[in-house]
Amino acid sequence: MDPKIDVRTESSSMPSSIRTKEGDQWNSKPVSYKMYSKSAQIRLVSSHPEVYEPCDDSFALVDALLADRTNLLEHHPSLCMEVGCGSGYVITSLAIMLGQEVAGVHYIATDINPHAVQVTSETLKAHGVHAEVISTDIASGLERRLSGIVDVMVVNPPYVPTPEDEVGRDGITSAWAGGENGRRVIDRILPIADKLLSDRGWLYMVMLAANNPSQICLAMREKGYASRIIVQRSTEEESLHVVKFWRDSDIQVGAREPTTTSRTTSTTVMESLFSQFPRLAFWRNDNNSY
Amino acid sequence: MRLLTHNMLSCNIKGVTNGFPLRLEVEKFVEKEVDFSAEFLRNIFPKIEWKALVDASRSMGYSQLPDEADSSMLDSDDFLKKFHHALLELHLEEGVLICPETGRRFPVNKGIPNMLLHEDEV
């Protein structure tokens, strides 16, 4: 390391200030986050006791977006939306990673928790980026008019399997409580996403293995979406996936004819899904499971 | 809250059919400069309800928008600049959005509209 430069880091690889020595004099210059950051900085993320702080799932989602950043830039989205913005970490990161290079992108963020919209607003401001923040349940009040015009949607939903009565509670519980199989809120979000997404719309969603991702992908396939796992993080207990969905014109939407061909199609779909979700491969042996 | 967002909001109370546009009651607004993108404006123009934008911008003291607009105007720099200003640079910080059908008031605080419904409205 160059002895004349002393770099202070507050997290992995993002310097917060650079000291340079001129003669006997050390001078400290704060490093503009815009120079180094492709995502939000934790130290600039606002917080509140009732608001979900950025965690492994938030980082996984942002990592997935960063991994897909080149595609996103080429895609030139006009409207990007986050459902369930929490601390604002993800929408802020998205605005930072796209904002510098793609002019004319606009961001919308919603959350059902009134503290979260406030915190998100503060986080956005601290990073010098803007998103329209709305306090609402998923996209209630926006659905009619935003129909078919959202180009990118990102969601880190409340996916934890919990008792049903924990779903929809006020405060921070709404950040994780997902009811049976953790699917209660996910299953409400998906049809709304389908309605809002444009023809070239992309959806990035975080889900657990416990949410039955292959079933989700199959249901989305029936609506005409292809899917791909972008990031997968596994621990001994659980496996986190960030899945990207997009409309694929090769996929036939809707009516299935009661012939043997449809069974072959669904078999092919299941095969391709199992290859993406190897932990579920044991189902392959059960002929009656689908 | 930008007027782009206002143009995308409608009353979400169950059973309401005529909930757009929400009427604006302005208590505090600011003007914030936003990077100009002709491409964005041309993309979004077909989705904008023009009269709602005109009325909303007038309630914020901006009356430069023509009463009617069609896509041929998108070739005019002058029009685009006015469209840009009204759509993106006028921010309602404090105020109320009012449902034209029910009169329900949705508050806007610190630029954030609150569309959360009570149990009996869902």
Cis (ω within 30 of 0) for the bond into B21? yes
| Residue of A278 and B12 predicted with greater confidence | B12
Domain presence at residue B95: yes
| Cα end-to-end distance, chain B, whole Å | 24
In angstroms, the separation between the Cα of residue A206 and the nearest Cα of chain B is 24
Report CB contact under 8 Å: A78, B44.
yes
Report CB contact under 8 Å: B111, A133.
yes
Report CB contact under 8 Å: B112, A144.
no
Number of other residues whose CB lies within 10 A of the CB of residue A158? 23
Report CB contact under 8 Å: B112, A117.
yes
User: Per-residue pLDDT for B69 more than 80?
Assistant: yes
pLDDT tens track, chain A, 290 positions: 443 434 443 344 444 555 555 556 666 555 544 445 689 999 999 999 999 999 999 999 999 999 999 999 999 999 999 999 999 999 999 999 998 667 789 999 999 999 999 999 999 999 999 999 999 999 999 999 999 999 999 999 999 999 999 998 888 999 999 999 999 999 999 999 999 999 999 999 999 999 999 999 999 999 999 999 999 998 777 899 999 999 998 876 664 444 444 444 444 445 445 455 544 443 333 333 33
Give the count of alpha carbons within 13 A of A42, CB side only.
Answer: 13
SS3 of chain A: the string is CCCCEEEEEEECCEEEEEEEEECCEEEEEECCHHHHCCCCCHHHCCCCCCCCCCCHHHHHHHHHHHHCHHHHHHHCCCEEEEECCCCCHHHHHHHHHHHCCCCCCEEEEEECCHHHHHHHHHHHHHCCCCCEEEECCCCCCCHHHHCCCEEEEEECCCCECCCHHHCCCCHHHHHCECCHHHCCCHHHHHHHHHHHEEEEEEEEEEEEHHHCHHHHHHHHHHCCEEEEEEEEEECCCCEEEEEEEEECCCCCCCCCCCCHHHHHHHHHHHHHHHHHCHHHHHHHHCCCCC
Strand order in the sheet with B112-113: B23-31, B90-98, B105-109, B112-113
Give the count of alpha carbons within 13 A of A75, CB side only.
Answer: 21
Residue of B3, B11, B12, B96 to mutate for A, most A C-beta atoms under 10 A = B12
A201: which chain B residues are within 8 Å (Cβ-Cβ)?
none
User: Of A3-17, A230-244, B11-25, B68-82, where does mean pLDDT reach its minimum?
Assistant: A3-17
Domain presence at residue B117: no
pLDDT of residue B98: 98
Question: Torsions phi, psi of A159, nearest 5?
Answer: -110, 0
The verdict on A124 touching B (C-beta cutoff 8 Å) is no
**How much is the pTM?**
0.83
**Chain B residues whose C-beta sits inside 8 Å of any chain A C-beta:** 1-2, 4-5, 7-12, 20, 32, 34-35, 37, 39-41, 43-44, 47, 49, 88, 106, 110-117
* Orientation angle between helical segments A186-196 and A213-222, nearest 10 degrees: 30
Domain presence at residue B118: no
Report CB contact under 8 Å: B115, A114.
no
pLDDT of residue A287: 37
∠ CA A33-A38-A41 to the nearest 5 degrees? 55
- Read off the CATH number of the domain in which B47 is found: 2.20.25.10
In angstroms, the separation between the Cα of residue A172 and the nearest Cα of chain B is 16
Q: How far is CA B31 from CA A117, B60, B86, in A?
A: 21, 10, 10
Residue type, A73: L
Q: Please tell me the total count of domains within chain B.
A: 1
Query: Could you give the domains of chain A?
Result: 1-31 (no CATH), 33-279 (3.40.50.150)
Report CB contact under 8 Å: B116, A137.
yes
Domain presence at residue B65: yes
Q: Which residues of A44-74 are buried (b: 16+ CB within 10 A; e: fewer)?
A: bbbebebbbbbeebbbbbbbbbbebbeebee
Domain presence at residue B120: no
Domain presence at residue B77: yes
Nearest alpha carbon to residue A229 among A218, A216, A252, A245: A245
pLDDT of residue A13: 44
pLDDT of residue A283: 39
| Dist. CA A169–CA A167, nearest whole Å | 6
| Dist. CA A111–CA A113, nearest whole Å | 5
| Dist. CA B41–CA B8, nearest whole Å | 15
The verdict on A173 touching B (C-beta cutoff 8 Å) is no
Share above pLDDT 90 across residues of chain B, in percent, rounded to a whole number: 98
Domain carrying residue B95: 3-112
For B12, the 3-state DSSP assignment is coil
